[in-house]
């Protein structure tokens, strides 16, 4: 049985594949049932639970790929950074780390075990996407102590403590490669690198401070790969140089226009605005069609959102999107 | 005595004018001295104090314009929205408003009085910039309850409660016009509309949900005007259609390139990355020069930052930037 998701990397797929960032998550009653009985930390660290959560959206939504249910801060947690969990607030990060306490990580057993269990559970030909946060995005969490609006501490670290910044980027890069290689060895078919924050940078800073590290990561991976960035519009030409197979773009990019087709030669994933999942069905259908018409102009294309599924989105809306994508007849370029 | 800032609107200035967003603020010891003795709410609502804070950066930094020291939520506070103040956390917004409690605002006495006092204090020919938050950005605060990372509530409001969204945008637009006209009547020479959040939208949503309201505001103003948006890159062509005199852009735009010159015909303000104020002097000088070389390619240009001054930036760095801008000989296009 063929996988349209894997075939999309070669451009040989006949239907357009679809999956959603954060598809394994809070909007699903089946996820909430597990969450009612366990802490978030337990859910991440117990392979039985994490594997079940990873697989939930496959049958419920009918998506074409599974993505590992794991926390983006699992890797730095294994490298000596102190990451706690608060069930209400999410990760609690101690920003007062010492560089001497930072070390290469060992194999993270619960991650590799989860991947093995997922691969056993996926009876249909559904590939598993492994993932990591990019060094820059992980570093932004470590410096800011969580998500940020203004990124003051991160900018100061980049600009006033540049040597320390590069030292951290270096060790995060090495360990991101190791972590993703372990995921691949355990069974991940594809990997996505989440660089949610990189779009806050100017072209020049992205080129100097982020691009070289990202290139090393993708160069070291021998499976199909996807690079995700938000606020991608001003970086498109640079992002096309990244040696990932696909680029995942947000709703600030208009897929299929001559300008975008000119800037992105590689495979493209995206980019239904996640806020559009709050629309009623007729309006949602129109928006999905627009994305499909634009996206299918690209030689290699995977349907996804601009960013993660919000926790209060209706499950039926996502099923509806999956059906619309699968009904769409790919227009051959 | 002429004002290079006002002349820049006609393109007749001989030196490039410079001011900084958040120049009246926490990085100044003179501001901290006032803050040590008064609550933030008192500082905003006492014309003597607000006028003094507005004028502080003029002599200290040598900038070419003053900007009114006021809170972006003063206007909705006068329209029936419940906005409190917490000296540590900033504004505390009650998001559970009822549309029936929202009303047109009366003249806000402490704002007009502050403007009159500032105009009396400014003995050199330094213009005063009045300002307001744009309807969309103010609405984002009212719905999210403050700054936001993911804008989940705002997106839901836009997409699932579209009628209520437009009703709020309408009344905010009418009152933004009134508020800015009152500032102009009291003595503001120029106005800047802060649309910090608009850059999170797709081109299509910006065009449908924001642009018509912004156009009405600028059409109603009879003084030189500036429109500020962050994450401007994907919206540039649309933003050039806004009938403000100037567009203030962030560091995601490269000023002076053929593409940017083609997309922005109007006056342009910006766009030294605010994080670059953490660089050492030689590197900062290089970055300032790059911005000046690019910006001066535009027929009408004002130097500013990508966004506000961070509170821990050294005062001398800002003075240094002002001097470098003033030393620069404008290259005639």
CB-nearest to B160 from A148, A159, A278 is A278
pLDDT of B72 over the 50 cut: yes
- pLDDT for A225-255, tens place per residue? 999 999 999 999 999 999 999 999 999 999 9
Q: Side by side, which strands form the sheet with B66-67?
A: B66-67, B128-133, B190-195, B225-229, B246-248, B267-272, B301-305
When pLDDT is cut at 50, 70 and 90, the band that residue A73 belongs to is very high
- pLDDT for B76-108, tens place per residue? 999 999 998 877 777 789 999 999 999 999 999
Q: What is residue B331's predicted lDDT score, i.e. its pLDDT?
A: 54
When pLDDT is cut at 50, 70 and 90, the band that residue A31 belongs to is very high
CB-nearest to A278 from B159, B205, B254 is B159
- pLDDT for B239-271, tens place per residue? 999 999 999 999 999 999 999 999 999 999 999
CB-nearest to B233 from A233, A273, A307 is A233
* % of residues, chain B, pLDDT over 90: 93
Least confident residue range of A18-32, B76-90, B313-327: B76-90
Please name which of A254, A326, A264, A260 lies closest in space to residue A15, comparing C-alpha atoms: A326
CA distance A203 to chain B (A): 7
Contact B310 A152 (CB under 8 A): yes
pLDDT of A332 over the 60 cut: no
- pLDDT for B163-206, tens place per residue? 999 999 999 999 999 999 999 999 999 999 999 999 999 999 99
- Average pLDDT (B106-117) is 97
Put simply, whether A207 touches B (Cβ < 8 Å) is: no
Give contacts of B231 with chain A, Cβ < 8 Å: 199, 231, 252
Q: Which residues contact B130 (CB under 8 A, 6 or more apart)?
A: B68, B115, B180, B183, B184, B188, B190, B191, B192
pLDDT of A70 over the 60 cut: yes
- Go through the domains of chain B in sequence order and give each one's CATH number: 4-327 (3.20.20.210)
- pLDDT for A172-226, tens place per residue? 999 999 999 999 999 999 999 999 999 999 999 999 999 999 999 999 999 999 9
Q: Quick one: which H or E segment has residue A192?
A: strand A190-195
Averaged pLDDT of chain B = 95
pTM above 0.90, yes or no: yes
Please name which of B71, B51, B56, B194 lies closest in space to residue B115, comparing C-alpha atoms: B51
Q: What is residue B333's predicted lDDT score, i.e. its pLDDT?
A: 45
Q: Could you give the CA distance from residue B110 to residue A276 in angstroms, rounded to a whole number?
A: 41
pLDDT of A89 over the 90 cut: no
- A269 and A246 in contact (C-beta within 8 Å)? yes
pLDDT of B142 over the 60 cut: yes
Put simply, whether B234 touches A (Cβ < 8 Å) is: yes
Contact A155 B312 (CB under 8 A): no
The predicted complex's ipTM stands at 0.94
Q: Quick one: which H or E segment has residue B133?
A: strand B128-133
Put simply, whether A153 touches B (Cβ < 8 Å) is: no
- The 3-state DSSP composition of chain B as helix, strand, coil percent (nearest 5) reads 50, 15, 40
Contact A202 B273 (CB under 8 A): yes
- With vertex at residue B61, the alpha carbon angle to CA B59 and CA B62, rounded to the nearest 5 degrees, is 65
List alpha helices for B38-161, DSSP H. 40-45, 47-61, 74-78, 109-121, 135-144, 152-160
Put simply, whether B40 touches A (Cβ < 8 Å) is: no
Q: What is residue B94's predicted lDDT score, i.e. its pLDDT?
A: 93
- A15 and A296 in contact (C-beta within 8 Å)? no
Give contacts of A25 with chain B, Cβ < 8 Å: none
- A303 and A18 in contact (C-beta within 8 Å)? yes
- pLDDT for A290-299, tens place per residue? 999 999 999 9
Put simply, whether A203 touches B (Cβ < 8 Å) is: yes
Least confident residue range of A88-92, A198-202, B212-216: A88-92
Averaged pLDDT of chain A = 95
CA distance A320 to chain B (A): 17
């Amino acid at each position: 049985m063929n996988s349209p998701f894997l075939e999309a990397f070669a451009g040989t797929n006949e239907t357009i594949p679809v999956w959603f960032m954060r598809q394994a998550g809070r909007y699903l009653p089946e996820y909430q049932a597990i969450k009612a009985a366990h802490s978030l930390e337990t859910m991440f660290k117990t392979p039985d639970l994490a594997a079940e959560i990873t697989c939930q959206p496959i049958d419920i939504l009918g998506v074409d790929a599974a993505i590992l249910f794991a926390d983006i801060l699992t890797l730095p947690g294994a490298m000596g950074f102190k990451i706690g969990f608060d069930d209400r607030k999410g990760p609690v990060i101690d920003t007062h780390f010492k560089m001497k306490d930072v070390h290469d990580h060992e194999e993270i057993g619960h991650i590799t075990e989860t991947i093995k269990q997922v691969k056993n559970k996926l009876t249909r030909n559904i590939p598993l996407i492994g993932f990591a946060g990019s060094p820059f995005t992980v570093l932004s969490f470590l410096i800011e102590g969580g998500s940020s609006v203004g990124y003051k501490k991160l900018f100061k670290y980049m600009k006033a403590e540049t040597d320390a910044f590069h030292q951290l980027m270096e060790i995060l890069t090495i360990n991101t490669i190791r972590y993703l290689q372990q995921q691949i060895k355990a069974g991940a078919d594809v990997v996505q690198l989440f660089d949610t924050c990189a779009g806050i940078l100017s072209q020049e800073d992205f080129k100097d401070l982020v691009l070289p590290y990202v290139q090393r990561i993708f160069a070291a991976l021998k499976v199909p790969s996807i690079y995700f960035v938000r606020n991608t519009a001003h970086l498109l030409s640079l992002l096309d140089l990244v040696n990932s197979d696909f680029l995942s773009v947000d709703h600030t990019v208009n897929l299929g226009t001559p300008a975008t087709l000119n800037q992105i030669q590689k495979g493209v994933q995206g980019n239904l605005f996640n806020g559009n999942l709050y629309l009623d069905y007729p309006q949602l259908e129109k928006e999905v069609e627009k994305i499909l018409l634009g996206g299918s102009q690209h030689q290699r294309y995977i349907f996804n959102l601009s960013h993660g599924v919000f926790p209060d989105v209706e499950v039926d809306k996502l099923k509806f999107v999956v059906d619309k994508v699968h009904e769409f007849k790919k227009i051959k370029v």
